[in-house]
């Protein structure tokens, strides 16, 4: 039985666990990137703008991605709720940001990081993507933990005798009766933690960080493969507008990212740099 409180009550204010997981994701991400910049002997002045552009890309991209891929009717029914943490449907109401899609966040981060790479730190974008992938893998685990606390993105019904079967009494009414389900959020979170550990070891113990794009390509392949296979155990998220050959929207959208990862790993051979080149802006 998974029936947690919604958050930490501080007087009349409630700090929701979902919001807290986002704070952890960006907080630990900032600390980790600080460590990475020190290892690479990169000036810390480039850290703040990276954090700012990553925050903008993640939140705005994730929100737009969810609306475009899963809930496009919001553009007509409640336009301002697409961009702001409010609802104007049936009266004004503060809702916080609900409905975020990792595919949208990824696309937005690609573009915000391109701007950061060319205009601010002046390094090959793959250099930034390699390091950002390590941080995002860990951050993704915190986000899925937030989904677990919210009893959302729940798994499909499971055999009651399965060691993975959980009841989510707080689940949204869209999932129907409260029955034993797979904790798909935890499966995904564990996968992302393992991906983070793998990328960190490769970054620290090998010279792959000097082959710009290699770590990022590997990150793309494994992260979206995790998402692809966990989707088999997930309930649909909203209306499934994109379905091909029995695959749901999340799976169809993951395939191009995995293919892109393979291509990036192949072309990364052209972007090898020396340790000296790694330690200074271009």
* Predicted pLDDT at 95: 61
Report how far residue 91's alpha carbon sits from residue 278's, in angstroms, rounded to the nearest whole number.
54
Predicted confidence (pLDDT) per residue in 162-189, tens digit: 999 999 988 877 777 889 999 999 999 9
Question: Residue 261 domain-assigned?
Answer: yes
Tally of domains in the chain:
1
Which residues are CB-contacts of 193 (< 8 A; sequence separation ≥ 6)? 137, 138, 141
The region of weakest confidence among 41-50, 181-190, 240-249 is 240-249
Q: Indicate the average pLDDT of the chain.
A: 88
H-type alpha helices, the chain: 17-39, 47-70, 74-77, 80-83, 102-115, 125-149, 184-205, 214-230, 249-267, 275-278
Question: Residue 274 domain-assigned?
Answer: yes
For 145, the domain range is: 126-281
* Predicted pLDDT at 207: 94
* Predicted pLDDT at 25: 92
H or E stretch including 8?
A: strand 7-10
The region of weakest confidence among 79-93, 142-156, 250-264 is 79-93
pLDDT band at 8 (very low <50, low <70, confident <90, very high): confident
Predicted confidence (pLDDT) per residue in 244-269, tens digit: 878 988 899 899 999 999 999 999 99
Q: Is the pLDDT of residue 282 over 60?
A: no
pLDDT band at 240 (very low <50, low <70, confident <90, very high): low
Question: Residue 196 domain-assigned?
Answer: yes
Which comes out higher in pLDDT, residue 94 or 141? 141
Question: Residue 101 domain-assigned?
Answer: no
* CA 188 to the chain's CA centroid: 11
Averaged pLDDT for residues 56-77: 80
Question: Residue 10 domain-assigned?
Answer: no
Averaged pLDDT for residues 218-240: 89
State which of 150-164, 168-182, 208-222 shows the largest mean pLDDT.
208-222
Question: Residue 194 domain-assigned?
Answer: yes
Is 131 marked within a binding site? no
Question: Residue 247 domain-assigned?
Answer: yes
Question: Residue 104 domain-assigned?
Answer: no
Q: Is the pLDDT of residue 137 over 80?
A: yes
Predicted confidence (pLDDT) per residue in 100-131, tens digit: 777 788 888 999 999 999 999 999 999 999 99
* Predicted pLDDT at 272: 95
Which comes out higher in pLDDT, residue 207 or 72? 207
Averaged pLDDT for residues 10-22: 81
């Amino acid at each position: 039985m998974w029936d947690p409180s919604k958050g930490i009550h501080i007087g009349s204010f409630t700090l929701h666990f979902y919001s807290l997981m986002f704070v952890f994701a960006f907080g630990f991400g900032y600390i980790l990137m600080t460590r990475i910049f020190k290892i690479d002997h990169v000036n810390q002045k480039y850290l703040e703008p990276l954090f700012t552009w990553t925050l903008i890309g993640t939140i705005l991209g994730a929100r737009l991605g969810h609306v475009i891929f899963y809930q496009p009717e919001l553009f007509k029914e409640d336009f301002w709720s697409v961009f702001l943490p409010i609802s104007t449907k049936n009266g004004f109401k503060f809702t916080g940001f609900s409905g975020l899609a990792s595919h949208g966040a990824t696309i937005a981060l690609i573009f915000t990081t391109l701007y950061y790479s060319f205009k601010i730190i002046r390094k090959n974008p793959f250099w930034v993507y390699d390091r950002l992938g390590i941080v995002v893998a860990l951050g993704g685990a915190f986000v899925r933990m937030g989904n677990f606390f919210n009893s959302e993105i729940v798994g499909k019904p499971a055999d009651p005798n399965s060691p993975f079967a959980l009841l989510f009494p707080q689940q949204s009414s869209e999932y129907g009766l409260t029955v034993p389900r797979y904790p798909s959020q935890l499966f995904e979170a564990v996968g992302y933690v393992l991906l983070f550990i793998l990328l960190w070891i490769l970054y620290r113990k090998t010279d792959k960080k000097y082959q710009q794009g290699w770590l990022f390509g590997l990150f793309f392949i494994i992260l979206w493969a995790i998402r692809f296979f966990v989707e088999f155990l997930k309930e649909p998220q909203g209306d499934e507008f994109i379905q091909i050959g029995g695959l749901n929207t999340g799976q169809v959208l993951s395939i191009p990212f995995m293919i892109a990862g393979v291509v990036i790993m192949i072309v990364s051979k052209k972007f090898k740099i020396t340790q000296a080149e790694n330690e200074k802006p271009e």
